[in-house]
Structure 1
């Protein structure tokens, strides 16, 4: 290392107090910078504003800015954004990464307090920036604007009031140590990562590193068709002014392995130049080793001395973890490591996971993955010409923070465990957005997150993410419907949408109003909600029901029949119309409310066509005027939740939902999981079974995703006391994965956020704590413990937690806001804020 400092400036101390995120200047001084080779191919007849260069995907650059301070600062902060990614270092210490996922025409910035990282004398701010090029599950390209859209970074540093932004004085070098990695496929798009540390000085983020042979950063000038061109700061095309990050920084524990095993790697070959062959090698070794999985109970003590040669390491973290993988090795230069963090130690699991490769530099060999990974089992193939030592393995968990309330506890330890694992499942599936699963896709699916959001509103005092989720997802296609995911590869119009996912998004907006009372945000989302409903109206028949709706009508993974007029889809649509009517009332929008209520009523009247008096149930479909044969929990529950079941039919629907002996489930994911064929093998998951069951006796049961509607329906039907028993169905998932809940009763991902509903339902239904007025200014407390003789816990509100404890007929309540108590006979009593003891 050298003390050479070619670019530095002196900052006098004591001019201003610390700047907060609300006092940054409205206009940026920091400029967009990159190398002199952005990943753009330039204008053409087909792309007059330029286009990404297909030969320069997944590029990285290293950036540095030296700062010389007279003394330690009293206050210092930094804000930064990038297209696509950055990792920020100050004086060799990594402070964070970002930005959060965003739409193609919107971007956010992150802010860091950096005074504790700065010292008197020489300092350096360093950035590892990356432009992906290819869409990923958490990034989609932005429109190019001649010089923007192919990689850029903008940052500002405020030290005691003086602001210095990115400009040509920053030093830059293209990072050649990473091999660009395209997506492995359309469905499996988690990016692989191959780092040759021999091409990256371990000290490049430190102040006394010699960057004299680096180049000045290139300032990117925006070219605009209308108006003056040449803008170099954020605020123009394609993102407009960056907004502050609306969700907190990700956080989490450092997770270490609990067990592991080192085996001979066999006679295999991998030259370290590409990850494709490495993936094949790992897959073959896992297939050979799969039968010996139980051997991984062997303790793995670090540091571990390993002889020269080729070895396979199988490491068990003992639970699903989600974050960035860290490895530290003491090995000779050229030692190669390739591996993957998996849901299960099988070759099928490898099909849907990222593969990592690392070539040792021979000193300071510490690898931290660029991406968040998820899994339980780490498999590593290490090849070295000499003996080497594995010094550390860890996963630095990175999930949204949860400010916990008092957990649910009862006289049934199974329910307590289900509550805890449900919360952990949602934690693992909550990043900068609610994602389906941390182990595979990490996509922000438009419909999945309705469950995550409901759990956070009930059990997390930090409501940043449940507030942000419906706003992030509000990125409609040009025809008004929402894509199946937001801010990711499947958001493209080339991918058909899941129409019912947009209806679950409307429920998210409704729940946001219920818990926060934020009419300003609701008003901003209502045009999107209306256009979603008008999209459905384009497929409405003369009877008021929608029919043969295009796209992938999923409803649930169970074989719910959806051809022709789908009863479940129409019921979800009716609920969405009612939600929009209620939200419009809150906004004082009488016209929209009347329109939505008229459509709700029309669906309710036409819904009678699905009723089969002989079966005593709603059938799932009507095709060419003929009722189909299948009957499902989905149709019955959605109709109740939509308020379209006539009073004289509610008893029959209640009996159907409570008759658990008639319920069966099956999932196409049973053969597409990490322990079977993998994600892309076998019959497409969009193909569902036609009725081959006794439709006159059996009812298609809901998978975990749709069970919240079943539980809500039973609550509306007066059967809330039955929910503790129904939630014990999650016991089966505990048996399959004791640390996180799987996607389906049969197969699927080993950790899926939409299976976390018990963490909400035990609070909202069993303890009976829910808002009585928007914004939780008044709560409704109606405990329904069923067979439980003891149950306690708390619910989140903006004013603090509401605690309820039930012991026999005795109920203790402590609430920061007034509440209405409802006893088991339906008698209501109003109480002021504070502690109350009453009888159930």
Structure 2
């Protein structure tokens, strides 16, 4: 894709078939509604262009409700749009230079209306004509614009069977394609679309007023915005090994996916053959005997993208597929099942959705011998413009850094998502970790800039939903209140790294309303209590009943963040309000302190302090700046006493390892203290460890972090290519576990902004026991390189910087290269 200058007003009109997924007004829906009978439907579009000569310049912009896949002269160029709010939509741009030729050209699109909410799509309000499927596009040919209108030809695509989500928690969209009903040449030049219908132009219309515009800009989305994040990129991932087993006694007839899921689950439960090594070069075709076969393909690592299968098989051959974290029936519970029925020629299946996992299972039923010509995953991830990687004299830390970056890559699509192998939801709180990694280690900042804006979709009462632009964004799902506080930290970090005052000013009213939502639960002591929703904090059993110390500390940090942002904007009134609320929480927080235990207790219930003590409360209080000087030594001792720390995750039995995501005890059930609360401290899971590390940095213990980051080494035992969600179980790849990629740059190499926008950097290496360490950090002006060799420090920076030695002495340096002593 490439940017061009487009007119503000669109020429291309909203078009669809003559049967959008809309129902007229009724007693229950007086303003009209979506029609579930037309959900998950696809429409084929074609536009032939007769050109005397190949154009010098050619651009295209396109958007759709819900999805599109774009083809030019038979070649797929891309898909979209990115996930978006119900009343906003983005458009994509493509360069067509070199794709168009003199003579006949064809621009073809598959449009899809989802209807069913998914983890990455949220329905928009409907009118009589919009909100049930639509497409708009414009092609600029040497300055002349050709837009979508009734001259485009359309045909409803019967090859795909509409599928509904498998359940409330397991909602990855599934796909069933009968290729016998889709001509392989439909997007090519020379294809006869004479029996197709003219496109139907959709005119904006509502219950009041005359019929309105036909072009983008009106209800329900307003003017489409240019896509703010870079196009997804990634290479083709090929398998490492393949095993073939008997496919069992029962056939799948290809009519629906539920029976295919059940058959795959039964076969996986019987422990099918798992490949132990490559039977040959899997980049080459593999001949498979006819009959019913189960294929288990190992990609050797977690991958995320679109599954591609090419087979040479007889017409009617059925293929049921799922990409899993592990080759188990429990893993299948979290995955989408894909179905394909071969046409008998030109059989290439490219999955519509991005899926993730390591193990691909295929149940194939073929009448005769057939050939697996290709199996691969086309990775589609946000781009990472890499900086020099962290390297040291401890190869374990180097590997942890590399796997942390890969974990962040896999969990970064058009938004930061939790786990590419399961939900792919844009959780409001999770992404605080992904964003920190990208600002530190990725020179492409389009996604860390966009993330807080995407997530800024408050409920009417001011708090943010637990996810953005997805099924759980509905008000019917209770929110996670602390996730909104982590979002405020994202806004603060956005200011630190980019200095973008305009973006911060846009988000400040949302941040203020989030904090005012909490004010309705404040008692006379200044603390919030019995906050509704799901107060999660972390997967460890940190106690949150009554007055939660961890939640109040996170709230205090958010008030301080907002105060600092308001001061940077010159908003003294909002700053004073936030400072006052921060001080009030600081005063009330003293009630959690237990002098005998030498720690803050986690709760106060009915006026009595609870028994539990956690890293979460201690670390969040330090980061919030509400720990008095006289308590800092005790808090430091608690955070450094690693022998007293224990963790426990409710996810240990949920997921690919044992039970599926909805089996067993609900993960929201939190263990009451059954441990020695006078000796043991509830430890943070990977998600909350960044706050623990930030606290130790503030307490002057930054040199301890290289040793603490070695905890991630244990996660590599059963998931060696990406970091798991928890120390005990959970997803095999989760973006919130990627924090070592940030910490080794920001804390160990000590590279962070000294002024908003990185116009001056602060460099304070704290390598701890490491003798040698090197790497780079991203800035808008290029990378900052730091090399530590003993006490010698070499720095190359594109901007001025302040160096801080081990004793805290500061020295100022101009941009360029410098050598100093630690």
TM range (shorter): over 0.9
Maintained 8 Å contact 1:584/1:593: yes
Maintained 8 Å contact 1:296/1:315: no
The 2-side partners of 1:342 and 1:305 are apart by: 24
Shift of 1:678: 1.1
The 1-side partners of 2:628 and 2:646 are apart by: 26
Who is 1:720 aligned against?
702
Shift of 1:300: 6.3
Of 731-740 and 58-67, deviating more is: 731-740
SS in 2 for 1:649: helix
Query: Which of 454, 476, 501 is the equivalent residue of 1:472?
Result: 454
Maintained 8 Å contact 1:261/1:300: no
Maintained 8 Å contact 1:261/1:299: no
Answer yes or no: is 1:629 the counterpart of 2:611.
Answer: yes
Change (3 A) 1:170 1:604: same
Shift of 1:308: 1.4
Maintained 8 Å contact 1:326/1:368: yes
Query: Which of 334, 339, 357 is the equivalent residue of 1:357?
Result: 339
Who is 1:822 aligned against?
804
Shift of 1:46: 2.1
Maintained 8 Å contact 1:452/1:756: yes
Please show how residues 158-197 of structure 1 align to structure 2 within 5 Å.
158-197=140-179
Answer yes or no: is 1:565 the counterpart of 2:547.
Answer: yes
Who is 1:45 aligned against?
27
The 2-side partners of 1:518 and 1:48 are apart by: 44
Please show how residues 317-332 of structure 1 align to structure 2 within 5 Å.
317-332=299-314
Who is 1:730 aligned against?
712
Deviations for 1:709-740, whole angstroms, at most 9, x for unmatched residues? 00000000000000000000000111121100
Please show how residues 232-311 of structure 1 align to structure 2 within 5 Å.
232-289=214-271, 292-293=273-274, 295=276, 298-299=279-280, 301=282, 302-311=284-293
Answer yes or no: is 1:744 the counterpart of 2:744.
Answer: no
Maintained 8 Å contact 2:593/2:600: yes
Q: RMSD of the alignment, in Å?
A: 1.0
The 1-side partners of 2:512 and 2:388 are apart by: 38
Please show how residues 7-22 of structure 1 align to structure 2 within 5 Å.
21-22=3-4
Maintained 8 Å contact 2:242/2:275: no
Answer yes or no: is 1:154 the counterpart of 2:136.
Answer: yes
Answer yes or no: is 1:383 the counterpart of 2:345.
Answer: no
Shift of 1:20: 6.8
SS in 1 for 2:773: strand
Please show how residues 128-527 of structure 1 align to structure 2 within 5 Å.
128-225=110-207, 228-289=210-271, 292-293=273-274, 295=276, 298-299=279-280, 301=282, 302-527=284-509
TM-score by length of 1: 0.97
SS in 1 for 2:145: strand
The 1-side partners of 2:256 and 2:211 are apart by: 42
* Unmatched segments (≥5 aa) in structure 1: 1-18
Query: Which of 571, 575, 581 is the equivalent residue of 1:599?
Result: 581
Maintained 8 Å contact 1:497/1:552: yes
Runs of 4+ deviating beyond 2 Å = 19-22, 224-230, 292-302
Shift of 1:338: 0.5
Please show how residues 627-706 of structure 1 align to structure 2 within 5 Å.
627-706=609-688
Answer yes or no: is 1:587 the counterpart of 2:569.
Answer: yes
Query: Which of 755, 758, 763 is the equivalent residue of 2:737?
Result: 755
Change (3 A) 1:564 1:284: same
Deviations for 1:230-262, whole angstroms, at most 9, x for unmatched residues? 311000000000000000110001000010111
The 1-side partners of 2:464 and 2:549 are apart by: 21
Maintained 8 Å contact 1:815/1:834: yes
The 1-side partners of 2:248 and 2:326 are apart by: 21
Query: Which of 754, 775, 779 is the equivalent residue of 1:797?
Result: 779
Maintained 8 Å contact 2:304/2:420: yes
Shift of 1:22: 4.8
Shift of 1:296: 5.9
Deviations for 1:511-547, whole angstroms, at most 9, x for unmatched residues? 0000000000000000000000000000111100000
SS in 2 for 1:745: coil
Of 294-303 and 632-641, deviating more is: 294-303
Deviations for 1:482-535, whole angstroms, at most 9, x for unmatched residues? 000000000000000000000000000000000000000000000000000000
SS in 2 for 1:736: coil
Shift of 1:49: 2.0
Who is 1:529 aligned against?
511
Maintained 8 Å contact 2:334/2:655: no
Maintained 8 Å contact 2:275/2:298: no
The 1-side partners of 2:684 and 2:279 are apart by: 39
Maintained 8 Å contact 2:149/2:201: yes
The 1-side partners of 2:783 and 2:255 are apart by: 55
SS in 1 for 2:485: helix
The 2-side partners of 1:531 and 1:214 are apart by: 52
Who is 1:10 aligned against?
none
Deviations for 1:532-590, whole angstroms, at most 9, x for unmatched residues? 00000001111000000000000000001000000000000000000000000001000
Please show how residues 79-94 of structure 1 align to structure 2 within 5 Å.
79-94=61-76
Maintained 8 Å contact 1:203/1:209: yes
Number of equivalenced pairs: 821
SS in 2 for 1:289: coil
The 2-side partners of 1:24 and 1:639 are apart by: 50
Deviations for 1:685-705, whole angstroms, at most 9, x for unmatched residues? 000100000000000000000
TM-score by length of 2: 0.99
Change (3 A) 1:548 1:213: same
Deviations for 1:418-459, whole angstroms, at most 9, x for unmatched residues? 000000000000000000010000000000000000000000
The 2-side partners of 1:282 and 1:684 are apart by: 25
Maintained 8 Å contact 2:90/2:225: yes
